[in-house]
């Protein structure tokens, strides 16, 4: 039996943006790739999402409903945190919109994490990110007690429960997973990519979808042999 090809990750895999900048002596260039709907260099998606999340948790105010609704001064706190590590063409509207989308996702996720902390420990559960900015946590605690917020939170919880498929590979697009499988010699990268991305033990819906796809391929193979 031949040796299996080694799994090859992108240059950014397992590294932090600071390490890459120090190692290369250059900033990480962000160029939009329509095929993956994000940066062309593999692994950059996760790096940017992480760094935007750090900026939002430690710098940005939480009084807006979404990142888009923040005052421009608050948004600039995120933009100003990126130039030391990243660079992009200021005329590239696609990458600009992509960064905004990542910021919106991280802002929404941080609010969700704050709400979980509040539900667990009340106002005493303040995340350490709010040290020196306790007024932001106080605002959130009051916000979480509003009837309107409670109704919205309940509706969102129901929607999450009704979601049939949950992504399990972080912020990495499924197409990267499929490319890895092709390098490894996988004959069915789309189906195997679906399995690696969505199928988890106990998830009957995604397991059934995966098994149905495998069965369909087997049927076609059998028909071809006949």
Q: Provide the domain count of the chain.
A: 2
178 and 157 within one domain: no
212 and 121 within one domain: no
Closest by CA to 32, choosing from 116, 89, 82, is 89
DSSP character at residue 5: P
Find the mean pLDDT for residues 199-221. 79
Confidence of residue 166 (pLDDT cuts 50, 70, 90): low
Q: Is 31 left (phi over 0), alpha (psi -120 to 50) or beta?
A: beta
Structure-model confidence comparison of residues 183 and 72, the more confident one? 72
Distances from the Cα of 23 to the Cαs of 17, 19, 43, 83, in angstroms? 10, 6, 16, 17
Distances from the Cα of 82 to the Cαs of 17, 26, 43, in angstroms? 10, 14, 16
155 and 82 within one domain: yes
| Assigned domain for 7 exists | no
Confidence at residue 174, expressed as pLDDT on a 0 to 100 scale? 63
Q: Kindly report the pTM of this predicted structure.
A: 0.66
Each residue's pLDDT tens digit, 104-157? 989 989 998 999 999 999 999 999 999 999 999 999 999 999 888 888 777 666
Q: Are 102 and 95 in contact (CB under 8 A)?
A: no
| Assigned domain for 168 exists | no
Domain that holds residue 200: 174-225
Each residue's pLDDT tens digit, 37-91? 788 777 788 888 889 999 999 999 999 988 989 999 999 999 999 989 999 998 8
Confidence at residue 175, expressed as pLDDT on a 0 to 100 scale? 58
219 and 118 within one domain: no
Confidence at residue 142, expressed as pLDDT on a 0 to 100 scale? 94
180 and 156 within one domain: no
Strands 32-33 and 38-39: antiparallel
């Amino acid at each position: 039996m031949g040796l299996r090809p080694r799994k090859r990750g992108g240059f950014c895999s397992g590294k932090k943006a600071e390490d890459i900048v120090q190692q290369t002596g250059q900033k990480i260039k962000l160029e939009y790739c329509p095929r993956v709907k994000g940066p062309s260099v593999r692994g950059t998606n996760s790096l940017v999402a992480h760094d935007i999340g750090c900026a939002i948790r430690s710098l940005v105010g939480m009084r807006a409903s979404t990142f888009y609704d923040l005052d421009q001064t608050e948004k600039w706190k995120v933009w100003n945190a990126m130039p030391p590590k990243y660079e992009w063409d200021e005329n590239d509207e696609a990458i600009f919109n992509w960064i905004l989308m990542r910021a919106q996702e991280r802002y929404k996720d941080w609010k969700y994490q704050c709400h979980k902390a509040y539900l667990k420990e009340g106002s005493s559960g303040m995340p350490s990110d709010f040290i020196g900015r306790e007024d932001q946590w106080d605002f959130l605690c009051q916000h979480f007690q509003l009837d309107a917020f409670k109704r919205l939170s309940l509706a969102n919880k129901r929607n999450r429960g009704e979601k049939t498929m949950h992504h399990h590979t972080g912020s990495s697009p499924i197409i990267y997973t499929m490319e890895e499988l092709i390098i490894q010699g996988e004959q069915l990268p789309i189906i195997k990519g679906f399995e690696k991305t969505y199928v988890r033990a106990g998830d009957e819906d995604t397991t059934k979808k995966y098994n149905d796809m495998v069965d369909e391929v087997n049927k076609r193979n059998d028909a071809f042999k006949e």
